[in-house]
Amino acid sequence: MILLFLACRGTEPIGPWSLEVDEGALSLVHEQRGALLDEAHISTGHGEADVEFAVGSFRFEDDDRQLNPVAAYDVRDLGHSWLLTAEDADGDGLGQLVVSPVDNNAVSLSWVPQDATSNRTQLSVACVAGEPLMGLGSHAQDVEHRGEAFALWTSEPGVGKTFDDDYPSDWFLTGTRHATSFPMPWLLRPDSHSGLLVDTTARVEVDLCASDADRIELTTWDGPVGWALVSADSTLEVIEQVGRAQGARELPEPWVFAPWNDAVRGPDRVREVVAAIRESGAAGTVIWSEDWKGAADKPTGYHLTGEWALDEELYPDADELADELALAGFQWFAYFSPFLEVGTDAWAEAEPYAIRDADGEPYLFTGAQFEDASLIDLTDPDAQAWVREKMDGALEVGFSGWMADFAEWLPTDAVLASGDAWTMHNAYPLLWQDVSETALAGVDGSFFVRSGWLGTPSRAPVVWLGDQRTSFDADDGFPTVVPLALGLAAGGVGTITHDIGGYSSVGNDPTTEELWFRWAALGAYSPVMRTHHGALEAENFQFDGSDESLEFWARMTREHMRLFPYRYGLAARAVEVGTPMLLHPSWAFEGEDPSRIDAWLLGPSLFVVPVTTQGATTVEVDLPEGRWWDWHTLAEASSGTHDAALDYIPVFVPEGAVIPTYDVIPETMLNGTELPDERAADLHRVVYVFGAGTTFTEADGTVYTASGAGSGEVTDTLTSGELSVGGLTLTVAGDAERTYTLVAVD
């Protein structure tokens, strides 16, 4: 092993980083953290793939891959980086690698093959015995992937999923274990507080010590490729760095973090939903009507038409309805997807903007509802302008946002106005997000997406977890919400939501009352709480399906809003620091199993254990080490068997937690309505401090710092100052005069 900074070449370490080279092996060593990229090997070459595409799913066969490994490097120290010229075993040139320390925590590696036709590059690194491997996007069945091998490629996740990554016979309908709308070429290595990012939009295959227990292999289906080694003093700091590296974010408006309800089938149902929400005392600020552009009942459920404009027969008084919703304290959301369906008015307008086939004709495929369809070519500026025109039309009707659905379907053999479909496929969701972001610039609006890639966290205000089954099934039902969300969080996705009640009922029953109750309870302790009617809208149990469910919805939405000061503080931290609103227990508590998928943390202080087993009356709770309290009762709590009535979800608080809440619960977060809004709620906080408290910062900059320990309750009105009770002091530093109630729990 040659330590370059000691070698006669005169190469010096760059900052805290040193590069070690032993023939074809590279290691990057941090002066405090040790070897974080160990025995790395690069291979380059060619591959030929057969690809089948159907209904948004892809089947790949790569039978002829030839990779040539780097056998030796000639190294030049450029002072700020190292330039490595690579040769194979015969002494022939293979390419150049530039290794550039960025700062104390990151190093970039940029590879350019000598053969410009190279379309495969593999980075192989040493796999530490027993180390967990996390990240890689949103996956339904696990968050720790050691021993697995799969591809990162945006696609339909499937209706139901297998428990392995072998293609099933109905691969175009049933998803494999790791088929996902939102993969991410980012591998988190929590044991070493580091990770590897592949800076590409090409397909990436990961082999996580599966073929070789001693090696991690990341194979990019492209020639030039960049990697980034990221490290920090903790796993959470690594995640924060990756989140920030994907671009600056803007904090969504407060109303985005109030509950959302869907309402379809026209104005009567919309008004019925609004009345149910307001008369029950539930909180809500968004009504989402995805069928604004038309829908029809089909054998697989209530599905949307392929139009891009208002269905004036289904919503004949949309302008008036939009005004009513605004007066009732609601924003109104619509729906867009990038499909162009043959025979629609949209097709007649936008056919020139469709992706093309090799003959220059519109590229047609079987669409989501088994109709002839194509995709809008978002690499074409004129196509983007057409899309923005349609989105502007929705805003003119009175909508203020939308679901930006799909974007996973770009075929690999499509011809685009700009770029190659092979490398644009995973970038297509980013283009889809860009056009929504541009359309909403300067508007008090928002949108949410399901597909993504590196860069989505800075583009999409909210990401939803896709179309889970309306069931308790472990492959693709309610239990998958936790791993899906935490997989995104590992890649720096700040704010997620999910379909309360699920969506797909192909191969399983519609949403039952029990499933809906369990899912709604988890929704209350999610960043954004949102219902979905599901595909079988008429058969799925809905929030107003019974007096009991409506009362429960009111209670859960009020709890969601009670936590607004805490949740919005988490949202601000996600924007400013990169900390996701949801955390895996192992990122916050030392010694926790990184493979657990039974709980999530909403911020650092609420440990949420959803009940995901059908028919359960109890739930096993495994709390990390330390003192814990039951959030509902404020009584001390411990691991073990807990009762789990249908209207209950276990939530626990660790020692040190500081949780600001509303005392007055607002029904809406919109100003200028006929209802009391967040301005009244903002005048009073109830701040809970558990044990020896720490600090918490709200989105408006108010900082709470707790010292000492004790129990009791005290109230005072102040802008900045102290509240003390029972030996505990809470220091408040802020700009707004409020009445503060300190509840000290010990």
What stretch(es) of the chain map to CATH 3.20.20.80?
A: 257-588
Question: Could you give the 3-state DSSP secondary structure of residue 469?
Answer: strand
- Nearest partner of 615 among 515, 469, 694, 532, judged by Cα: 515
pLDDT at position 2 is 31
- Nearest partner of 578 among 670, 493, 675, 459, judged by Cα: 493
pLDDT at position 4 is 31
Residues 6+ apart with CB under 8 A from 126: 38, 39, 40, 214, 215, 216
* Rounded CA separation 501/334 (Å): 20
- Could you report the per-residue pLDDT of 468-519, keeping only the tens digit for each? 999 999 999 999 999 999 999 999 999 999 999 999 999 999 999 999 999 9
- Nearest partner of 195 among 250, 252, 241, judged by Cα: 241
| % of the chain exceeding 70 in pLDDT | 97
Written as six digits, the tokens of 633 are 């009762």
* Rounded CA separation 483/597 (Å): 6
pLDDT band at 7 (very low <50, low <70, confident <90, very high): very low
**Residue 425 in this model has a pLDDT that exceeds 80:** yes
- Nearest partner of 448 among 397, 493, 487, judged by Cα: 493
- Could you report the per-residue pLDDT of 187-229, keeping only the tens digit for each? 999 999 999 999 999 999 999 999 999 999 999 999 999 999 9
Fold of 257-588: TIM Barrel (3.20.20)
- Could you report the per-residue pLDDT of 697-735, keeping only the tens digit for each? 999 999 999 999 999 999 999 999 999 999 999 999 999
Q: Rounded to the nearest 5°, which phi and psi values hold at 64?
A: -135, 65
Other C-beta atoms closer than 10 Å to the C-beta of 551 total 14
Question: Could you give the 3-state DSSP secondary structure of residue 686?
Answer: strand
**Residue 580 in this model has a pLDDT that exceeds 80:** yes
**Residue 573 in this model has a pLDDT that exceeds 70:** yes
Contact 463, 493 (CB under 8 A): yes
- Could you report the per-residue pLDDT of 264-302, keeping only the tens digit for each? 999 999 999 999 999 999 999 999 999 999 999 988 889
pLDDT at position 671 is 72
- Could you report the per-residue pLDDT of 219-252, keeping only the tens digit for each? 999 999 999 999 999 999 999 999 999 999 999 9
- Could you report the per-residue pLDDT of 539-572, keeping only the tens digit for each? 999 999 999 999 999 999 999 999 999 999 999 9
**418-424: average pLDDT:** 97
What stretch(es) of the chain map to CATH 2.60.40.1760?
A: 2-192+194-231
Q: Rounded to the nearest 5°, which phi and psi values hold at 513?
A: -60, -40
By the 10 Å C-beta count (0-12 exposed, 13-18 middle, 19+ buried), 231 is classed as buried
- Nearest partner of 468 among 503, 519, 421, judged by Cα: 503
Fold of 2-192+194-231: Immunoglobulin-like (2.60.40)
* Rounded CA separation 487/484 (Å): 5
- Could you report the per-residue pLDDT of 298-341, keeping only the tens digit for each? 888 899 999 999 999 999 999 999 999 999 999 999 999 999 99
